[in-house]
Amino acid sequence: MTLSDLAGRRDVLFVGGKGGVGKTAIASALALAQARVGRPTLVVSTDPAHNLGHLWQRAVGDSPVELAPLLRGLEIDPSRTTDEHLRAVRATLRRLMADHLQGEVDKHLDLARDAPGTHEAAVLERIAEVVEQRRPDELVIFDTAPSGHTTRLIALPELMQAWTEGLLRRQDRSARFGAALRGLEGADYDAAEVIGSRRLPDSGTSIGPRRTQDRRARRDAEIRSVLDRRQQRFRHLREVLTDRTSTAFVIVTAAERLPVLESVELHEQLTRSGMDVAALVINKRSPADAGDLLASRRLLEEEYVAELARSLPHLPAVQVPLMAGEVLGEEGLGRLLGHLRDTAG
């Protein structure tokens, strides 16, 4: 099966590996291949150091732009995504928290913007949004950040779902405690209401404890609704990531010591997370017939190719040669695409 066949049989494809091995070019070439056979495709860069626009030689931003017929590109902006994420959280908390706590909410969120994990959580929300809004029959290819960032991102849906479930359990316990407390009040409630409330002039309407309880009940219901939506979003993303019929991961590497070691580790982490690692691309292979220097390097690379075969014996691999010119624009990607049509294995 070729890499193009693999992409054609999936709805979501992740392309990742060590920095500098050519992930963006491979992701873009696979996207171009699908667009050329008539399938709408969206290639999405999640790397804060975006190369997608540079590769295609045009401006690509946080909203999809057309790169070629049936092919769109998108670069997730971590700062903008984080700001929008925190703005939404701030608006929700302002509705739910008491007035005297508004300052604390602002202070906490201002500090949270640069806290570890905030950007990753925001980017994860954006990835979930892209998956949810995928057009019918569209293939989404994620050009991911270097390996360490990618594995944290892949693990986040499960962690965020567990965190949200914990909040829901705490919210349920709080609601039960509140209900029990109101039950204990029993017959004393009317007296407490009279003592603790005031009445509007010429009206029998109380704005005391009963109204406070109603307000708290509405707040609790809204909190529950927000957490339920968030949990559902992460559950759905987790299901997509681990569905081997719809989603796969392609590791891109180079025949060098550090990329090989990192690729083996990445494969282990992704497999442990439940993702289908479907293929390996060994990029920029030196030619054996272009002078002594490159021939010597080719021999060195053979050792690392053999190491990959020993460490990942069941993973189909495609070897892509070092190309004479830069891979830029649709023309350069078209040349690269010819090598990706080779059978993986």
- Please check whether the domain covering 11-292+312-325 is classified as CATH 3.90.1140.10: no
Strand partners, 343: 2
Q: What tokens were used for 163?
A: 């965190």
| pTM to 2 decimal places | 0.79
Gap between the Cα atoms of 73 and 51, Å rounded: 11
Question: What b/e sequence results for 120-155 when a residue is b if at least 16 CB atoms lie within 10 Å of its CB, and e otherwise?
Answer: bbbbbbbbbebbeebeeebbbbbbbbbbebbbebbb
Q: Which helix (H) or strand (E) holds 252?
A: strand 247-254
pLDDT, residue 342, reads 62
Q: Residues 21, 257: contact at Cβ < 8 Å?
A: no
Lowest mean pLDDT among 20-29, 229-238, 267-276, 293-302: 229-238
- With H, G, I as helix, E, B as strand and everything else as coil, classify residue 68: strand
- With H, G, I as helix, E, B as strand and everything else as coil, classify residue 319: strand
In the chain, what are the domain boundaries? 11-292+312-325
Gap between the Cα atoms of 226 and 50, Å rounded: 32
22-59 pLDDT per residue, tens: 999 999 999 999 999 999 999 999 887 788 999 999 99
Q: Residues 41, 139: contact at Cβ < 8 Å?
A: yes
57-99 pLDDT per residue, tens: 999 999 999 999 999 999 998 788 778 877 877 777 777 666 7
Q: Who contacts 310 (Cβ-Cβ below 8 Å, separation ≥6)?
A: none
Classify residue 250 by its DSSP letter.
E
Strands 139-143 and 12-16: parallel
129-179 pLDDT per residue, tens: 999 999 889 999 999 887 666 666 666 666 555 655 555 566 566 556 555
Strand partners, 251: 16, 280
Give the amino acid at 238.
R
Alpha-carbon distances of 91 from 84, 105, 170, rounded to whole Å: 11, 10, 22
